[in-house]
């Protein structure tokens, strides 16, 4: 037993150390212009640990998501590092290294529950899946992109919850059950993709725990998951509420297309797991949808073939469990409920890849147990080549996230006619002081997707920043017709105020607050517009609301209003 513990510790620490070293270059990366502004460097809510800010971090929605623990982690980073990206990247790296160590522990636990292992076989059972999990380039997006903190944080508690549950199932310790449930709640508060965990636990009850024997065993196992499913119901409600504005309608993407696209995505993820080339930050939907095209036919054959093999080998339960885990953990992001404009994303494979990697660990352990030297040589050669290749690919992929321009140059090199990378690169170039290049990208993005609210909105922001207010107003008007939201109305209010239309600005700020009634910056903008429009009492009331919501300038402005009302040209963006 002592030797087994030492082997597990060695596998965990060594895989975590190698992973951390491989990701060290990412610590020198900066922020990027994709979600990082709204989560971090333009987010005033993370800059204070007062009651108002913490309340908003816990109850508010950010980039159409509810993940309070992730937002609190950013507030901790800000308290420690300010807006130095090094600290944010360092925390992501540490979390990923810890997750890698947990994968080693979990892999050994699962394999040894299924069958006892000798101490020499324990090390590869933990080290192989953990190492491949840690250094796989498919996981770079989750680690090197600061805004994907939610992936690594969610995985930490997801893995911890499984480990506590395994302990509970074997030792019947109530404390372990409570810790598993609490860990699951923390995983949900990091990222709602963790909703699949109760189903995963039921899979583990089937194998390797073998707890689903007879009706009584099944009922007991299901009853134990009721608190987990209750948390799932809450998380699902929060996700649906927060992501309503980002969901594609059934009219735009019908159910049959979603289902077939989901099947194609499963095959896509398998391909990227085993052949991780051509990785991109954003995978656009194909220009044409042909369910009888060659790539789709191959998809159907691959998925059906794997499923048939797993069913045919049902007495080897590990294969069907691993396959169902892979399929099931991807369900929230596979496209049946389409959120966002991406057809797939590398980050979605952070946890789903786990079961297939554990199978490799089990294979390595079995080879050691069989003492087959030819197979061992072949396995060691495969792992050595995979380690070198994956490490190189991960270091290369990490460099892509160095800054906004590097990121979007890479994306456009792969998908030159996708409007989202052009839109994002254009916005970044304008902010970097290259307006001509930036506007060229933004104009092309709008021409490629004239009905895209985001393309119009981003061009409007760039035009506003360049002082071209009339053109910015035209784009904002068009974007609002497509789908209004708080940011669009707030920015249209800012543009109208610049154009001297204070009454119009007041109207737009009020519409913005209908969408986001706890936005202190918008209340402050409304106060300024009301003052400019001659409504001093209204300005005082709005400035008071802004001060109560943590806008630092608002208190000083209130003193000014009360002592000597006058005109002001301040704007909080």
pLDDT of residue 571 exceeding 70, the answer is no
Question: Under 8 Å CB-to-CB from 375, ≥6 apart: which residues?
Answer: 367
Distance CA 449, CA 441 (A): 12
pLDDT of residue 434 exceeding 50, the answer is yes
Give the right CATH number for 500-573 from 3.90.230.10, 1.25.40.10, 1.20.1070.10, 3.40.50.300.
1.25.40.10
> How high is the pLDDT of residue 518?
82
CA torsion angle 277 280 282 288 (round to 10): -40
Mean per-residue pLDDT of the chain: 90
> How high is the pLDDT of residue 157?
98
Tell me the pLDDT tens digit for each residue of 456-482: 999 999 999 899 999 999 999 999 999
> How high is the pLDDT of residue 67?
92
pLDDT of residue 566 exceeding 60, the answer is no
Tell me the pLDDT tens digit for each residue of 286-329: 777 778 888 889 999 999 999 999 998 888 899 999 999 999 99
Mean pLDDT in residue range 164-177? 93
> How high is the pLDDT of residue 306?
94
Distance (Å) of CA 140 to CA 129, 171, 506:
17, 37, 44
pLDDT of residue 499 exceeding 90, the answer is yes
> How high is the pLDDT of residue 207?
94
DSSP summary character for residue 37? I
> How high is the pLDDT of residue 55?
85
Instruction: Tell me how long the chain is.
Output: 573
Whether 104 contacts 11, CB under 8 Å: yes
Which of 206-220, 473-487, 551-565 bottoms out in mean pLDDT, i.e. has the lowest? Answer: 551-565
- Tokens read off for 335: 């496209």
Whether 73 contacts 152, CB under 8 Å: no
Whether 518 contacts 60, CB under 8 Å: yes
Per-residue pLDDT band for 567 (boundaries 50, 70, 90) equals: very low
> How high is the pLDDT of residue 537?
85
Domains of the chain: which residue ranges? 2-241+354-399, 500-573
303-320 as b/e: b if 16+ CB within 10 A:
beebeeebeeeeeebbbb
Mean pLDDT in residue range 434-462? 92
Mean pLDDT in residue range 139-160? 97
> How high is the pLDDT of residue 425?
93
Mean pLDDT in residue range 252-273? 83
pTM score, two decimals?
0.89
> How high is the pLDDT of residue 353?
95
- Tokens read off for 388: 């070198």
> How high is the pLDDT of residue 262?
85
Question: Given its phi and psi angles, is residue 244 left (phi above 0), alpha (psi -120 to 50 degrees) or beta?
Answer: alpha
HEC profile for 344-388?
ECHHHHCCCCHHHHHHHHHHHHHHHHHCCHHHHHHHHHHHHHHHH
State the first-to-last Cα distance of the chain, in angstroms, to the nearest integer.
Answer: 61
- Tokens read off for 490: 């707030």
């Amino acid at each position: 037993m002592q030797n087994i513990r030492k082997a597990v510790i060695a596998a965990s620490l060594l895989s975590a150390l190698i992973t951390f070293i491989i990701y060290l270059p990412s610590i020198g990366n900066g922020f990027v212009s994709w979600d990082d502004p709204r989560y971090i460097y333009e987010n005033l809510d993370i800059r204070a640990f007062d009651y108002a800010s913490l309340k908003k971090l816990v109850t508010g929605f950010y980039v159409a998501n509810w993940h309070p623990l992730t937002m609190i982690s950013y507030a901790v980073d800000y308290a420690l590092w300010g807006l130095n990206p090094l600290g944010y990247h360092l925390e992501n790296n540490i979390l990923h290294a810890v997750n890698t160590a947990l994968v080693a522990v979990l892999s050994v636990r699962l394999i040894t529950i299924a069958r006892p292992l000798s101490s020499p076989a324990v090390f590869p059972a933990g080290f192989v899946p953990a190492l491949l999990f840690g250094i796989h380039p498919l996981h770079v997006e989750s680690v090197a992109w600061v805004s994907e903190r939610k992936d690594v944080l969610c995985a930490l508690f997801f893995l911890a919850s499984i480990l506590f549950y395994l302990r509970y199932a074997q030792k019947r310790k109530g404390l372990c059950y409570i810790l598993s449930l609490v860990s699951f709640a923390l995983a949900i508060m990091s990222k709602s993709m963790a909703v699949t965990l109760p189903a995963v636990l039921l899979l583990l009850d089937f194998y390797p725990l073998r707890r689903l024997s007879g009706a009584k065993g099944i009922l007991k196992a299901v009853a134990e998951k009721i608190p987990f499913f209750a948390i799932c119901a809450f998380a699902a409600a929060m996700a649906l509420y927060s992501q309503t504005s980002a969901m594609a309608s059934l009219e735009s993407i019908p159910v049959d297309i979603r289902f077939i696209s989901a099947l194609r995505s499963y095959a896509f993820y398998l391909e990227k797991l085993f052949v991780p080339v051509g990785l991109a930050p954003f995978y656009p939907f194909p220009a044409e949808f042909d369910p009888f095209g060659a790539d789709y036919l191959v998809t159907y054959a691959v998925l059906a073939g794997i499923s048939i093999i797993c069913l045919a080998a049902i007495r080897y339960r590990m294969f069907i469990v691993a396959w169902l885990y892979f399929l099931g953990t991807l369900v929230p992001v596979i496209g049946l409920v389409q959120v966002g404009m991406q057809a797939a994303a590398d980050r979605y494979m952070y946890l789903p890849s786990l079961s297939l990697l554990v199978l490799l660990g089990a294979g390595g352990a079995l080879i050691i147990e069989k003492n087959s030297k030819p197979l061992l040589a072949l396995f060691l050669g495969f792992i050595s080549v995979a380690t070198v290749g994956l490490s190189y690919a991960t270091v290369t992929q990490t460099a892509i996230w160095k800054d906004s321009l590097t990121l979007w140059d890479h994306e456009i090199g792969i998908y030159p006619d996708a409007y989202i990378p052009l839109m994002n690169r254009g916005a970044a170039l304008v902010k970097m002081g290259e307006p001509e290049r930036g506007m060229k990208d933004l104009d092309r993005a709008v021409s490629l997707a004239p009905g895209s609210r985001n393309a119009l909105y981003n061009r409007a922001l760039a035009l506003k920043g360049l002082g071209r207010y009339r053109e910015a107003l035209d784009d904002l008007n068009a974007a609002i017709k497509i789908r209004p939201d708080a940011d669009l109305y707030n920015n249209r209010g800012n543009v109208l105020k610049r154009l001297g239309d204070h009454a119009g600005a007041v109207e737009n700020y009020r519409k913005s607050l209908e969408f986001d009634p706890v936005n202190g910056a918008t209340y402050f903008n409304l106060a300024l517009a009301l003052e400019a429009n001659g409504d001093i009492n209204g300005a005082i009331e709005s400035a008071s609301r802004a001060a109560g919501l943590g806008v630092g300038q608002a208190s000083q402005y209130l003193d000014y209003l009360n002592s000597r009302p006058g005109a002001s040209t301040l704007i909080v963006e």
